[in-house]
Every structure is written in C-alpha cells, then in structure tokens.
Structure 1
Amino acid sequence: MFVALDEGPVHPVFAGVGFVSFAELSWGRFEAATEVVQVGQRVSGEFLQLDTRNLEARLSLKALQPDPFQAFAEGDPVGHKLHGRITKLAPFGAFVEVAHGIEGLVPLRELAWTPVETPAEVVQVGDEITVVVTKIDKGGRRLTLSRRQSSPDQ
C-alpha cells in the first residue's frame, strides 16, 4: 500500500511517498488490503527504514498495535484446553483459530487417535473443535495444538 506522507523523503517521481507491505498492515489474517484500510483513509505508521533504491519510507501500521499473539501466549500456556474453528486444511495438518486473530496448527498426527492420510478425513473448514495447546513459539509466533490430547474418546 502506498501512502502520501505528511513529511518524508523526496521521491524522484512522487514526493513524500511511503510504502506499507502486506505483512505490515495488520497482525490479523486478511485476504485484501481493503479489509484493513481504505483509499483516502488517514493512517499512522511506524517508520521502519528508508528504501534508498526507490526513495520510499518503509512503514508499519501493525507496529503501533500490541501483538495479540504475545498477549495470548502469556495468558494461555501449554496444556490449556481451547475451543476453535478450522480455518484452513493443509497436507500436514489443520489450522485452527482459537481466539480472535490467533491461529495454531494441529499437525496431521494430532488430528485423530487413528492415523489419517489427510486432514479432510476427519475435519473440514468451519468445523468447531476442542484442542490442547502443546507448544508456543513466541519468537516465531507459532502455536502448536493437539485435537487428540483434548479428549481420549475420539
């Protein structure tokens, strides 16, 4: 997303242009930038660096907001049982949203008591399931979950 800066570097074509990459728009998951910002909307961002090749200020909108993953990691330690919704299936497991904007992976081996070859054998996108937090990687912002450990009677 390009933004017109109130103050900024002199751009060879567009004076005072800043750039916010997709990854720096929001901590949450979104498909299109318009889910986060609209054309003409006034925003505040944190300066990350000056792109000397393009003479653009690289900015972050999410840097001015608390990281919801870190807050979640402090309040939901390993071993907690949570309820969530399947958001995506992958060959290696299923992604589950366990809190607003917080997703974790249930690896294929942790989806069911009996071995399965694909997640679609036992869950579908939109299914509500119960999981247990098995690992939190704060630095990598990764959450590992287990459906198998949430209930012995699956």
Structure 2
Amino acid sequence: MKLTHLDEKDRPKMVDVSDKDDTTRIAVASGVIKMSPDAYEMIVSEKTKKGPVLQTAVIAAILGAKQTSSLIPMCHPLMLTSVNCDVDELPELPGFKLTVATKLRGQTGVEMEALTGVSIGLLTIYDMAKAIDRTMVIRDVMLEEKSGGKSGVFKRT
C-alpha cells in the first residue's frame, strides 16, 4: 500500500486534491475529560478563578478547528462553513464530553478539524481547571462519524 503523504522518493508531501470533486463533507468527533468531584462542581457552578470554563472551551474548540492546517503539517487549509460544539455534563464520571461537528463543501474531508477542535477544547478545560485538579485525564478522543467524498459514510458503532 502506497502512503499518500510520501512522494516517489519517500519524501513528505501534501496530497494533491485538485482533481477531486467538491462534495459536502461533515465530520463529528468527541472526547472526554475526567476530573475530581471538586473540579467538576466548580466548573458547573462557574466558580473557577479563570471564568466560564465551558464557554471558553467551546470558543477554543472552534478556533482549534479553524487552525488545524497551521498545527498539523499535511492538512490543507479549509474554508469551514460550520463548526458546532456541544458539552455534555457527566456527573457520574465526573467530567465532561465535548463533541465537535465540522462542515464544508470542498475537495477534502474535515475529520482532522473536528478532532483538533475536540482536543483543543478539552485542553482548554484542563488549563482553566488545573489549579483545582492536576489529575484530570483527557481520553476517548475519536471520530464519531463522517460523510462526503469518495470514501462515503463512516459511523462509529
């Protein structure tokens, strides 16, 4: 199997997508951050010293999705048409699940943008709550679904 990010001399390259058709491309990714009950309660009640943690994490997730090509070397700069974020409270964990959905009409997928958005959003929660709990764990960052393009639809079961 030939890797698409290597040329004939095994040098890194960005994949040429110029001959691909424009299609609507959607990706949804998610991840979880587990924390102490004290950190969870302070975030939910908005009593952290750094301000509204979850709202800031959503803004960071959107920014992360938009900056993916600056962070991951072989990703194309994309004109995202939509980035939507949801934060679910998980009191039984305790922690939060962040879900990011990205969309565009173009020649390449938006999976990396959704995954980067989730990662940056969760890292922002960690950053804003680390004074309360340095034992937080970011886990289960994954692609939930994608559609568009030649490879079709993927849905995690």
Same fold? TM cut 0.5: no
Higher strand share: 1
**TM-score (norm. length: structure 1):** 0.22
